[in-house]
Chains A and B, each alone.
Chain A
Amino acid sequence: MAALTDELVIEPGRAEKNYWKDIWRYRELFYILSWRDIKVRYKQTVIGAAWGVIRPLLTMLIFTFVFGKVASLASSTSSTPYAIIVFAGLLPWQFFSTALSEASNSLLGNANLISKVYFPRMIVPASSVITSLVDFAISFGLLLLIIIYYKYPLSLNMLLLPVFIIMAFLLAFGVGLYVTALNVKYRDFRYVVPFIVQLGLYVTPVGYSSSVIAERYSGEIRFWFSFNPVVGIIDGFRWCIVGEPMYWPGFYLSLGMILFFMWLGIWYFRKTEKTFADNI
């Protein structure tokens, strides 16, 4: 029995040492949990996957109308259809907001698992972020259809899109880790997340382009605007898809914020996860 030589020692603080190795060992569970979430999600809703199409499509139509026509934030110099600009921003924003909402409820939603079985707890929020990628993929397909409809030319920048998808993933994961851990201790935190998401929509250039800020106010304000890490991601998406010029200082600021949230999330999650089973 070779397995017997594999000694496991349980001591206070011991879990810290093999932390990342353990997550790797449990990768199978990781796939299965994501698979479960996806499966359940599309089983429980009547219109199933159609929901993933209707939601972004309707939002895009409304935003195009409200921001493009009513508020006339459309740049006069650009020839890009406003619908594509809106959709390029909507894509990462919807991914971020669903992933964040799902991740922040993930620990409480799996309370029975956490109090009964051992596994690296980080798998739970991570797999709910992954699940949100499915919705993202559906919306992305929709974007391609719209691009074809408008016969809009694609640029080579498109190849760099995965970089920004990864950034969005990391941001949702980092903030999600932080909030879900807070949620275990302070149950009323779950009311905070929808509020942040709702408010965030307006301080994030989803229905308008970031360059509008610089045009109407000043470049400096646009820089500070990028303190919101989603700004850098959306700018990146638009750079890849519609070829809007990239504003690099703002991008670096957003990148810094993403790294900060990743660190905050992982640090707080690891600090508190030992007590999840006792508190949940």
Chain B
Amino acid sequence: MALPLIKVENLSKKFLISHEKQEPYTTLRDVMAKSVKKLFQKGVKPEGNSEEFWALRDLNFEIKQGDRVGIIGRNGAGKSTLLKILSRISEPSSGKISIRGRVASLLEVGTGFHPELTGRENVFLNGAILGMGRAEINKKFDEIVSFAEVERFLDTPVKRYSSGMYVRLAFAVAAHLEPEILIVDEVLAVGDTQFQKKCIGKMEDVSKNEGRTVLFVSHNMNVIKNICKSGIVLSQGKLVFSGGANEAVEKYLEGSADLGTVAKLYSHKVKCEFAKIVNININNSKNPLVTIFEKLTIDLEIEVLQNISQVEFFVLIYNIEGSPITGLFQKDNDELFKIDSTNHKVSVTLENNLVPGKYFVSAGMFDRSRQFVDWVEFGEMFEIEHAYADGRLFEPRLGATLQKVQWEKIR
């Protein structure tokens, strides 16, 4: 095919962010109150309290038919905005996209599912929402139901479904859409491993055998490498790389490592008189993405402000809700370091046995009498992806930690 299926030219999307106190929405009351205030404050210049924010800036790329493209970027890089524009949910501020063919987006599985309706009814409802005609759904109905493995529960309201059944049914509808372009955003984080495999298989099938194009957004680099042929890397709304999937993943990981050299301002819980932590890196980067059981190395760079001979370092790891998961104290198993007036860098390495998710890292120092020298709270973050180093996907379960264990058959 000589002509690209999707052609994006100079695409930009701008949002206005207001710097006033953040409200989730405007109320009429506020608007009226403000206009009344304005009446009485003549001569005061109108509030110019908002700033432009470019979620996407001058994107240019092309996607060919039958391609499986991974869209990679950190949170806030503009991935979701790009998908929303491609699926026509929001409008670009400038630029142009030409798409030849029907687009179906799966920004979240189960969009439009109604809990009161039965599985059967929801298939028709969801299909129509995703752009299928009734005749088309009728034709594929049996296929959808057997893919989702919910035959027995077809006439049960979906509010009685287990979450696994719900997701399976929702994905099954979308997988049988037959659009020329399928947009998928992180749906594989749910469902059991077997179903995830089935989904990946279906996506490959769709693009290899039927020549359809798949755009796939995920934070799971292994899944991207497995599924996608090519990749697009976004960073702060700009296109950083477009090419093969493996190179794109490398570029992305490199990119997050680059950021590691930039120190940022931390919030210190104590007044740092003697020494201060100026930079924390995790696996030589900021906000790294690691696999399950991948070792973590946390580097602390300190600046000595006044003479202090000895300090004890500590690192705390919190989960996303802010509850502490573990505390690492140097005193537990190591000699303390001698500190002189120069700047130092220390590191701690740990076997990571945390379950997938995002974690915050805090770090600090005590002096000899266990007084705080510094305590940086929620300094950096890291994320453990839903996959093992060999690409196997993680099956959600109860518990906050994982262990490498040995199972033996005794009898």
A residues bordering B, Cβ < 8 Å? Answer: 1, 3-15, 28-29, 31-33, 36, 39-40, 43-44, 112-119, 185-189, 274, 277-279
Shortest CB–CB separation between residue A252 and chain B, in angstroms? Answer: 33
Q: Tell me if A3 and B95 are in contact (CB < 8 A).
A: no
A112 CB contact (under 8 Å) in B96, B101, B111: B111
Q: A7-B99, A13-B91, A278-B15 are in contact. List 10 more A-B contacts (CB 8 A).
A: A8-B100, A8-B103, A10-B99, A11-B92, A39-B117, A113-B111, A117-B111, A186-B27, A186-B28, A186-B31
Q: Considering the chains assembled together, what is the distance between the CA atoms of A135 and B237 in angstroms?
A: 50
Q: Considering the chains assembled together, what is the distance between the CA atoms of A29 and B95 in angstroms?
A: 30
- Highest count of chain B CB atoms <10 Å: which of A6, A7, A29: A29
Q: B80-138: which have CB < 8 Å to A?
A: 84-103, 105, 107-108, 111-112, 114, 116-117, 121, 124-125, 128-131, 133-134
Q: Tell me if A118 and B134 are in contact (CB < 8 A).
A: no
Shortest CB–CB separation between residue B27 and chain A, in angstroms? Answer: 5
Shortest CB–CB separation between residue A85 and chain B, in angstroms? Answer: 38
Task: Knowing A12-B93, A28-B133, A40-B114, say if A117 contacts B25 (CB, 8 Å).
Answer: no
Chain B's closest residue to A119 (CB) is: B129
Chain B's closest residue to A115 (CB) is: B89
- Highest count of chain B CB atoms <10 Å: which of A44, A185, A186: A186
Q: Considering the chains assembled together, what is the distance between the CA atoms of A119 and B126 in angstroms?
A: 13
Cβ contacts under 8 Å, A8 to chain B: 98-101, 103
Q: Tell me if A279 and B112 are in contact (CB < 8 A).
A: no
Q: Tell me if B112 and A113 are in contact (CB < 8 A).
A: yes
Task: Knowing A12-B92, A12-B94, say if A32 contacts B128 (CB, 8 Å).
Answer: yes
Q: B16-54: which have CB < 8 Å to A?
A: 25-29, 31
Task: Knowing A12-B91, A40-B116, A277-B90, say if A4 contacts B101 (CB, 8 Å).
Answer: yes
B180 adjacent to chain A (CB < 8 Å): yes
Cβ contacts under 8 Å, A39 to chain B: 116-117, 121
Shortest CB–CB separation between residue A28 and chain B, in angstroms? Answer: 5
Shortest CB–CB separation between residue A104 and chain B, in angstroms? Answer: 14
Cβ contacts under 8 Å, A112 to chain B: 111-112
Q: Tell me if B101 and A15 are in contact (CB < 8 A).
A: no
Shortest CB–CB separation between residue B291 and chain A, in angstroms? Answer: 30
Shortest CB–CB separation between residue B88 and chain A, in angstroms? Answer: 4
Task: Knowing A185-B26, A277-B84, say if A7 contacts B100 (CB, 8 Å).
Answer: yes
Shortest CB–CB separation between residue B12 and chain A, in angstroms? Answer: 10
Cβ contacts under 8 Å, A36 to chain B: 114, 117, 121, 125
- Sampled A-B contacts (5; CB under 8 Å): A1-B180, A29-B128, A39-B121, A117-B107, A185-B25
Q: Tell me if A10 and B97 are in contact (CB < 8 A).
A: yes
Cβ contacts under 8 Å, B91 to chain A: 10, 12-15, 274
Query: Interface residues of B, CB < 8 Å — how many?
Result: 46
Cβ contacts under 8 Å, A278 to chain B: 15, 90
B residues bordering A, Cβ < 8 Å? Answer: 5, 15, 25-29, 31, 84-103, 105, 107-108, 111-112, 114, 116-117, 121, 124-125, 128-131, 133-134, 180
Chain B's closest residue to A114 (CB) is: B89
Q: Considering the chains assembled together, what is the distance between the CA atoms of A33 and B127 in angstroms?
A: 12
B180 CB contact (under 8 Å) in A4, A11, A113: A4
Q: Tell me if A9 and B114 are in contact (CB < 8 A).
A: no
Q: Tell me if B88 and A118 are in contact (CB < 8 A).
A: yes
Q: Considering the chains assembled together, what is the distance between the CA atoms of A15 and B114 in angstroms?
A: 28
Cβ contacts under 8 Å, B124 to chain A: 32
Cβ contacts under 8 Å, B101 to chain A: 1, 3-4, 6, 8
Shortest CB–CB separation between residue A226 and chain B, in angstroms? Answer: 29
Cβ contacts under 8 Å, B99 to chain A: 7-10
Shortest CB–CB separation between residue A130 and chain B, in angstroms? Answer: 15
Q: Tell me if B25 and A116 are in contact (CB < 8 A).
A: no
Q: Considering the chains assembled together, what is the distance between the CA atoms of A29 and B111 in angstroms?
A: 14
Q: Tell me if A117 and B134 are in contact (CB < 8 A).
A: no
Q: Considering the chains assembled together, what is the distance between the CA atoms of A277 and B87 in angstroms?
A: 12
Shortest CB–CB separation between residue A122 and chain B, in angstroms? Answer: 15
Q: Considering the chains assembled together, what is the distance between the CA atoms of A267 and B29 in angstroms?
A: 24
Chain B's closest residue to A5 (CB) is: B100
Task: Knowing A36-B114, A39-B117, say if A9 contacts B98 (CB, 8 Å).
Answer: yes
Q: Considering the chains assembled together, what is the distance between the CA atoms of A119 and B132 in angstroms?
A: 12
Cβ contacts under 8 Å, B90 to chain A: 274, 277-278
Shortest CB–CB separation between residue A112 and chain B, in angstroms? Answer: 6
Q: Tell me if A118 and B129 are in contact (CB < 8 A).
A: no
Q: Tell me if A188 and B27 are in contact (CB < 8 A).
A: yes
Q: Considering the chains assembled together, what is the distance between the CA atoms of A15 and B92 in angstroms?
A: 11
Chain B's closest residue to A7 (CB) is: B100
Q: Tell me if A113 and B129 are in contact (CB < 8 A).
A: yes
Shortest CB–CB separation between residue B98 and chain A, in angstroms? Answer: 5
Shortest CB–CB separation between residue B212 and chain A, in angstroms? Answer: 11
Chain B's closest residue to A3 (CB) is: B101
Chain A's closest residue to B91 (CB) is: A274
Cβ contacts under 8 Å, A4 to chain B: 5, 100-101, 180
